[in-house]
A and B are shown apart, each in its own frame.
Chain A
Amino acid sequence: MTRIFTVRSLEQVGVGQTAAVADVPGADPISLRLLEMGLTPGIEVAVVGAAPLGDPVELEVRGYRLSIRRREAALVTVAS
Chain B
Amino acid sequence: MAEAVGPGDPTRPLTVVLVGNPNTGKSTLFTALAGIPTRIGNYPGVTVEEKVGRFVHRRRAVDLVDLPGTYSLAAQSPDEAVAVDVLRGRMPGVAPPDCVVVVADATNLSRNLFLASQALELGLPTVVALSLVDVAAERGITVDASALARRLGCPVVPVVAPTGSGIATLRDEILAAPAGPRPPAPDLAAHLAAIDAARPAPARQAIARYAWIDDVVAEAVTRSRPARRPLADTIDGVLTHRVWGTLVFALVMLALFASIFRLAAPLMDLLSAGVDSVAVGVGGLLPPGALRSLFVDGVLAGVGGVVVFVPQIALLFLFIALLEGCGYLSRAAFLMDRLLVGAGLSGKSFIPLLSSFACAIPGIMATRTIENRRDRLLTILVAPLMSCSARLPVYLLLCGAFVPDVAVGFSWLRLPALVLVALYALGVAVAAAVAGVLSRTLFRGPPQPFVMELPGWRWPQAAVVLERVREAAWSFLKNAGTLILAMSIVIWALGSYPKPVLPDGPELSAAERQGEALRQSFLRARALGAEGEEHHDRQGDVDPAEEEGATMLVRRLKAATWDGTDRKVFSLSVALSIMVFFALCAQCASTLVIIGKETGSWVWPVVTFAYMTVLAWLGAFAVYQLGTALGW
A-to-B contact residues, CB < 8 Å: 24, 27-38, 40-41, 43, 48-49, 51-56, 58, 62-69, 71-72
Contacts of A49 in B (CB 8 A): 240, 242
Within 8 A of A (CB), among B180-217: 199-200, 202-203, 206-207, 210-211
> Residue A56 contacts which of B199, B207, B337 (CB distance < 8 angstroms)?
B337
In this complex, how many residues of chain B approach chain A with their Cβ under 8 Å: the count is 40
Report if A36-B334 is in contact (Cβ < 8 Å); known contacts: A64-B111, A65-B453.
no
How many angstroms from the CA of A65 to the CA of B236 in the assembled complex?
A: 11
- Interchain CB contact under 8 A, B110 and A38: yes
Report if A32-B74 is in contact (Cβ < 8 Å); known contacts: A56-B450, A62-B108, A62-B111.
yes
Q: Which residue of A lies closest to B336 (CB)?
A: A51
- Interchain CB contact under 8 A, B108 and A64: yes
Identify the interface centre among A49, A58, A67: most chain B CB within 10 Å of its CB. Answer: A67
How many angstroms from the CA of A26 to the CA of B240 in the assembled complex?
A: 31
B72 at the interface (CB under 8 A from A): yes
B608 at the interface (CB under 8 A from A): no
- 1/0 contact trace for B26-68 toward A, CB 8 Å? 0000000000000000000000000000000000000000000
Within 8 A of A (CB), among B69-121: 71-72, 74, 76, 107-108, 110-111, 114
CB distance from B240 to the nearest CB of A (A): 6
Can you list 12 A-B pairs with a CB-CB distance of less than 8 A?
A28-B446, A30-B449, A49-B240, A49-B242, A53-B339, A56-B334, A56-B337, A64-B456, A66-B453, A67-B337, A69-B341, A71-B447
> Residue B206 contacts which of A36, A56, A63 (CB distance < 8 angstroms)?
A36
Contacts of B330 in A (CB 8 A): 67
Identify the interface centre among B207, B341, B451: most chain A CB within 10 Å of its CB. Answer: B451
B2 at the interface (CB under 8 A from A): no
Contacts of B334 in A (CB 8 A): 51, 56, 58, 67
B335 at the interface (CB under 8 A from A): yes
How many angstroms from the CA of A34 to the CA of B338 in the assembled complex?
A: 20
- Interchain CB contact under 8 A, B339 and A37: no
- Interchain CB contact under 8 A, A58 and B240: yes
How many angstroms from the CA of A1 to the CA of B453 in the assembled complex?
A: 30
B246 at the interface (CB under 8 A from A): yes
Contacts of B76 in A (CB 8 A): 29, 32-33
Identify the interface centre among A28, A48, A66, A69: most chain B CB within 10 Å of its CB. Answer: A69
Report if A33-B203 is in contact (Cβ < 8 Å); known contacts: A58-B334, A67-B334.
no
CB distance from A49 to the nearest CB of B (A): 6
- Interchain CB contact under 8 A, A36 and B207: no
How many angstroms from the CA of A61 to the CA of B563 in the assembled complex?
A: 73
Report if A66-B454 is in contact (Cβ < 8 Å); known contacts: A35-B206, A40-B207, A71-B447.
yes
CB distance from B377 to the nearest CB of A (A): 19
Contacts of A48 in B (CB 8 A): 240
CB distance from A68 to the nearest CB of B (A): 5
